Every structure is written in C-alpha cells, then in structure tokens.
Chains A and B, each alone.
Chain A
Amino acid sequence: MSAVEIKNLTFTYPGAKEPILKNVSLEIEEGDFLAVVGNNGCGKSTLCKTLNGLIPHFILGDMEGEVRIEGVSTKEQEIGTLAKKVGYVYQDFENQIVCPTVLEDASYACLNYAMEDYEEKGREALEICGLASKVGDYVWQLSGGQKHLLALAGTAALSPDILILDEPIAQLDPMHAGRIYDILKELNEKYHKTVIVIEHHTGYIAKYCKNVLLMKDGGVKWKLSAKEGLRRVDELLESNIFPPQVTRAALQMKRAGILPESVVLPVDIEDGKKVFAPYLKETGPFRRETAESRASERKLENGGKLVSFDNVTVTYRAVKGEPPKIFDNFSLEIRKGEKIALIGSNGAGKSTMLKLMMGLIRPGVGRVTIRGKETGSISKEELGKTISMVYQNPEEMFIMDSIRRDVEYAMKVRKVENYEKRTDELLEMFRLTDLADRDGRLLSGGQMRRASLAIGIALNPEMLLLDEPTANLDIATRREIMKTLQMLKGITDTVVIATHDMQLVCDWAERIIVLSSGYVIADGPKEQIFADMYVRSQVGIRPPEIYDMGRELGILKPCFTIDEFIGCFGGGQNA
C-alpha cells in the first residue's frame, strides 16, 4: 500500500488569484526516502502541509481533489489522528518548540494525546536523535543544530509512519547537517519510516535519498530515483536546482567531447572516480606556488591594521555555576582591504567575534580596538560609520515599513546630503527599485538578503560584517548574493563573513580563519586550509565536492571550480 496517495489536488490560498497547487497527482511508497525539489514558491511546502492535514483543517482556502494517508482521506480524519501518522518539522523549527525543557518538549505531543508512557516515548525519541545527554537541559541552552534535532525528536516521539522535514539543514554546518541526515537514514532504514525532505542541497540527496520529486509551477514534473533524477541536469537547472558539481562537470565534459556520449553521468564521488579516472590528463602541482606568492603579495598590498583583538577573554553570564568561557586569551588582527571568511562549527565563537567587533559584547580581559580605539568606548552611533553588520536573520534589519525607507533611514537621520539620490542608486544597484515600497518582511528570502545588504552599506562603512549571508537560501539565490558581494568592491573593501557555505568561501574569500571552541586553529588562504586534513577533521568543514573529487583522482593542484577541474582533462579554460 502506498503511504501517500494524492489525486488531482488543487489548492488556492484565500485571496490568491492563482492556485498554488495545480492538479497534483502523486503516490509515495511506504519506506521511501523522498526529496522534494523545486524553485522558491513552486508549492513544495504547501504540498507537505496537505499531507499532515494542516490543509484543509487549519489553513483555509479552496481545496479540490483528495489526499489519502494510508488509504484514508485527510478530510475524513481528525488532525489528532493524522498527527500520529504524519510528523512535520518546520523550516523555522525554533518556533515549533513550545516547552522550556528538552525532555518536556520531546514528550509534549505524547502527553497531549494521553499516552501513559509519554516520558518514555520522549526519552526514546531523544535517544534516536542523539540528544540523550541533553535530557535535563533547557531549550535555550541548546545550539541551533541541537534545537533542530529536538524539533525532530518532538515529532518522532509520536512515532508517525511518515516524517516530513522542510529544509532540515539550511542553517547547519556540514558536520551537524551530516548528523541530521544520518539520523533520518536510521529512522528510514531501521525504523521503516517514510521520510520526505524538502531539500536543495543535491549532494545530500545523492548520498541519502532514494527518490527525488521535481515540482514546477504548482505541479509535479517527475518523480524518479535519486540518481536518475539528479542526472537530468538541464531540467534541474531550469528550476534553479544545482545538481552535484561532479554531475555538472561530467555533463560539460561530455558536451565538450572530453567524455564519450555513452557515459552515464556520475552523481557522487564514488561514481565520479570510475567515470573520470580514465580521461585524466594532468595532475601537475603547477599552481601551488603561485597561490602562496599571491597570498604574500596581497598582504603587502593591504593597508594598515583596522581591527585588533589583544588577549581577549570573554565569558557569558551564567544562569548557574561557572560562567562559560567563549574566548580565552584570543588575539587576532584584521587589516584594511581583507576579504575574510570565518568558519567553524556552530558555537565555535563566530558570532561572538562579530559581536565583539561591533562592541555589543565587552571583553572581560583584553581589548578589541578599531583603529586603536576600543570598540566598547565608541558609541554605537559613531561606530555605525566605520563598521556595519548584517544579521543572519534579515528580518531584524527591517525597522521601517518599506525597503526604501529602511535603506535611507541611516542617511536621513544623519542628514547626509543628497541621500535621496544615493538611495535610488543603492536600490538600483541591488535591483530593488520595483520593490522599494514593499515591507521587507514580506519579500522572498533572496530579496530580503539583497535588501539587508543594501541597508548595511548605505553609510559607506569601511568594514562590513556578514553573519551567514547565504543561510536559508536556495543555490540560485546564493549565487546572486555572491554577485552582490562582488559589487561591493570599491565601496566597502574590508569584509568579514561568518559562514558555513564553503562554495562562498572558495569563490570569494582571500583569507580564511578557522575557529574551534574559541581558538583560531588555522588562518590562511583556501589552498592551505582545505589541504590541512587535521583542521578539516577538527571542525568538520567540507570543501566543495569538486575539490574532493580532484583529490580523490590524485590531482595535485587544488580545483575549486568546475572549470579548474575540467582544465585537468585538457579542456575548459584555466581561469
């Protein structure tokens, strides 16, 4: 029997002109591990909400057609009955956690449905999700990744047969992301759950999922096995889904005549090894020295010291017991003109470092100085002219009721001359002119990011700090953000980005600082960092897939882009 059966489903949100789901018919087998892909606004989330009965039971709107869960229509089932069959983890999972302590939240649903062994069930779910050691903790003590696991545990505790996760790894570092997927795999294989994920990281789809479903404009385009689906590169690209780099590289090489037509496109490194190995031409290490000499050259080029951390120790106020130390005797220097990527696992101290520079946290011991002045002693308003920060959550950047007013706010209150003209320029530059009168919060993820960047650089700060600028974005929007970053050249030349996005790091950063539990464990150009296996294992950073593919094949020079990789096969351009 199929776990889910959808027949001719059409759904329109109240007030919307067009239906968001158009005549969807679909069957999902029991025990499937299905990835749902599609560009923003194609109805992925809406589709998932029809499965757990939120539509039509709580979200009003016109629904036609039928959704059957284990053979029974959702319309005929109560939400409580459905909740025991279908679990749902939201993209903004943080808001799904409603109890103050971990165990309570995990067993909350079981308690509400009056299961006598609710606490046992909660514990069990926490065990599966790897939170056994956190049972007695309070929710606010958890890191982002752990909160996500808790949201999953709270859902899994009811032991539903179907689990739906909306973009489960959008905010996680690669190590935690891997852990979530390992747990999902275990749930799928060992506990025979049907798992449905909305996902755009095709690397994870290739590694974990069994099937993949492509949605477009509110309809189902196709449902294929994961490998087969990922090979349909052109169709995926059309929907702004980027197939694994290995797959894309192979397709390009096929088209360039480097690989024969008969080759089946690889979707992961394992396959790639078999496909690429016979055609490899050069493995020479000719770029290595140039990379390093470039790095030293750059150091000379850059201007003087801008920010410096001198023996900084930071402790947080503890609720109980010893205050935890985030930094202990931490020293670092940032020079003018540097493009720095700050990487490290969740909770390594990245945000704390940004906050120190903004003077939001004062160090217990030591000094953080900007141009020799201590950040804590400069008023925030003064500081805003030198340094600007864009939050991880762009919604917190929007304080006025339209994008235009948000962008101009800082200039207006400072009585900058011709601020209207500058606002127009900024809006034009970030392609926001058409959206200028909309409220920032009501825009799409990518638009929100662009707008928050425009706000961040409105005052022409000398230095820009970005906290996870590409989190929660699909890959097409990420590219757009990277393009935007390139545009900053000449306006703001010192930029520090805290990120998990290794593609962003490779494409953009000149200096990479790796933080691990409050210490700088590596600091240098990308070639050096990614080659350092010790660092990689310590913080769980993962370079782009194509880099690993190159190394697997024995290519000595590091390839960070597909073009560089193809170059080793005697094609493409060496950019």
Chain B
Amino acid sequence: MNPQNKITQSQKLMVFVLSMTLYGLATLFTELIPSFQVGIVEFSVEYFLFIPLTLAMLFDPLSAALGAATGELVFSEIMLGQFGGLGELEKFITVTIGVFIAGRIVRNPQKRGMVAFASILGVTVQQLMGCAVDILKVQFAVEEFEAVPGLPESVFFTEGFACLNDILFSGILFCMLPTMFLVPKLYGKIEPLLGMKPRDEKTSLAGGVLPAKTILICIAAFAAAIAAELLASGGYELIDWEAAWAGSTANIIIAIIIAAVVSLIVIGVIRSRAAQRNEAGQR
C-alpha cells in the first residue's frame, strides 16, 4: 500500500467543498451579469466553468465535477429560487460529465496545450449535450410543434447558434483562456494547502485515460439526463395524444387526478428506495 499517492476520503471532501463553494459563488454572479444582444445573437457570460475545470485538472476530477454541479444547484438554483425541478438534473449531469472528462484526460497539468485541449473538449461535450436536450425539450413542450409557422426553424437555429456561440464565446473566453492561465499558476501551490501532493503522471490515474467503462457510464448518465428533462418539461406524449378527448371537463379532471396520483407514486417509489438504501447501510 502506498498511502502517499492515494487520495483519502477527506481529501475528496475538501475538493468537493472547494469546487462547490467557488463555482456556486461564480454562478451566483453569472445569473446577475446581464447578457447583451446584438440583433438576435446573444452574447452572455454563460458560466465560469473554468473554476471546476481547473480544480478537476489539479485534483480528483470526480469530486471536483460533482462539487461544481452541486454548487450550481445549491447556490444559483435553490438560493435564488431558479430551481427548475427535475430539469435541473440535466444540467447537473452534463456539467458533471463535461468537467469529469476534461479533468480526467489531463495527465500533466503543466502542459498548457493539454490543458487547453481538455478544457475546450469539456465545454464542447457539455454544450452539445445541453443543446440536444434543449431542442428536444421545446419539441415536446409545444403541442403541434411542426405546425407552428417558423417555430421549428427558429428553435433549431437559436439553439444551434446558442450552442456554437457558447462553445466559441464562453468556451474560449471564459473557460479555455482562464484555465490555461490558472492551472500552471496554481500547480504546486494549492495542493499543499489541502495537504496533497501535486498531480503527476503516476498519481493522476489508475487505468487508461478514458477507459471504456467511464465512457459507458457517461453515455448512460446522458440518457438519464434526457429522460429527466423530458419527464420534467415535456410531460407525456400520452396527454397530448389524449387532448382530442380532453374537450370535456370531466376528462381533464380525471387527467389531473391521474397526474396527481402519478406524482404521489413517484414520491412513494423514491421514498421506499431511500429506505432500502438506508437499511443497506450505504454511505
């Protein structure tokens, strides 16, 4: 056993807390920095993803990624009441995956090229997933999506553009450049403050850069993200389809009651699962 190279549970917690508080604070600001529009093109300081990216490259990537996602959820969603329910799960998962992948592929944080590539890759992954989900979301939310004149094109255009814009504008300006600036500067300085050794080729990873298992988990998580988003915003196709008979009041009421019952069942399932978990005495 080599205790010096192993990251302890409490060190992971430190990274989690660090990433959560810092990224949380940053998202709180970005909620408030106004975006400005030139025509229909929106330039927004989308987020300060460079913070978790930097931390993920220096420390344990998973803790940093989870910390960042939690931080955003808690600070900007819950604290400011911008919580979008299940839909937030989508952002949570995509941010986690993006940051995790970026942090995972950096072997030597002192190589600027590597850092730059990883950070832009992380952003791209996160943005593409977010974009795909967004398009699907509008498709489900607006009934007879195709029938509304101009809507499908505008959705594809705005979402696609927003995605490209976020990758190029936010991605380079607010993620890649700051990460390139911060990682080498912090390397070797911040680790001792947490009582850790700086990452090097040996300590960075066990196993390959991106083992197949990791990729599979990422894909599965992304699928879950889409499902959550659609469940949250799209509602069930079912209801749209039944809109034909929903003319009568009684039917609507029945539908509502069904919805209420479904939500109660969902709660029940969550509850019992939680209870089982507790019995299993998991952490």
Contacts and interface: CB of A to CB of B under 8 A. Distances in A.
Do A and B touch directly, given a CB cutoff of 8 Å in the complex?
Answer: yes
Interface of A: 14-15, 58-60, 401, 439, 441-442
B4 A60 contact: yes
Contacts, number: 18
B185 A401 contact: yes
A60 B197 CA distance: 11
Nearest to A79: B10
Contacts of B185: 401
A270 B269 CA distance: 73
A60 B4 CA distance: 7
Contact of A14 (B10, B189, B193, B197): B197
Contacts of B189: 401, 439, 442
A59 B4 CA distance: 10
A121 B261 CA distance: 43
Contact of A60 (B8, B192, B193): B8
B39 interface: no
Interface in B221-270: none
B150 interface: no
Interface string B1-20: 00110001010000000000
Interface of B: 3-4, 8, 10, 185, 189, 192-193, 195, 197
A60 B10 contact: no
A442 B192 CA distance: 10
Nearest to B198: A15
18 contacts: A14-B4, A14-B195, A14-B197, A15-B192, A15-B197, A58-B8, A58-B10, A59-B195, A60-B3, A60-B4, A60-B8, A60-B195, A401-B185, A401-B189, A439-B189, A441-B193, A442-B189, A442-B192
A401 B3 CA distance: 31
A439 B197 CA distance: 18
A14 B189 CA distance: 15
B53 to A, nearest CB: 19
A138 to B, nearest CB: 15
Contacts of B10: 58
Contacts of B8: 58, 60
Nearest to A58: B10
A374 to B, nearest CB: 28
A387 to B, nearest CB: 28
Contacts of A439: 189
Contacts of A401: 185, 189
Contacts of A442: 189, 192
A560 B60 CA distance: 56
B189 to A, nearest CB: 6
Contacts of A59: 195
A401 B192 CA distance: 15
A471 to B, nearest CB: 21
Given A14-B4, A60-B8, A401-B189, 14 more contacts: A14-B195, A14-B197, A15-B192, A15-B197, A58-B10, A59-B195, A60-B3, A60-B4, A60-B195, A401-B185, A439-B189, A441-B193, A442-B189, A442-B192
A315 to B, nearest CB: 24
A88 B8 CA distance: 21
B274 to A, nearest CB: 18
A58 B11 CA distance: 9
Contacts of B4: 14, 60
A439 to B, nearest CB: 6
A58 B194 CA distance: 11
B3 to A, nearest CB: 6
Contacts of A441: 193
Nearest to A54: B10
A15 B189 CA distance: 13
Contacts of A14: 4, 195, 197
A319 B192 CA distance: 38
B46 to A, nearest CB: 25
Nearest to A401: B185
Nearest to A56: B3
A464 B192 CA distance: 34
A205 to B, nearest CB: 31
A88 B192 CA distance: 22
B197 to A, nearest CB: 7
A439 B185 CA distance: 10
A559 B64 CA distance: 58
B94 to A, nearest CB: 29
Contacts of B192: 15, 442
B78 to A, nearest CB: 13
Nearest to B185: A401
A401 B10 CA distance: 27
B128 to A, nearest CB: 34
B261 to A, nearest CB: 36
A401 B4 CA distance: 27
Contacts of A15: 192, 197
B6 to A, nearest CB: 9
A64 B281 CA distance: 35
A59 B195 CA distance: 7
A15 B200 CA distance: 15
Contacts of A58: 8, 10
A439 B4 CA distance: 25
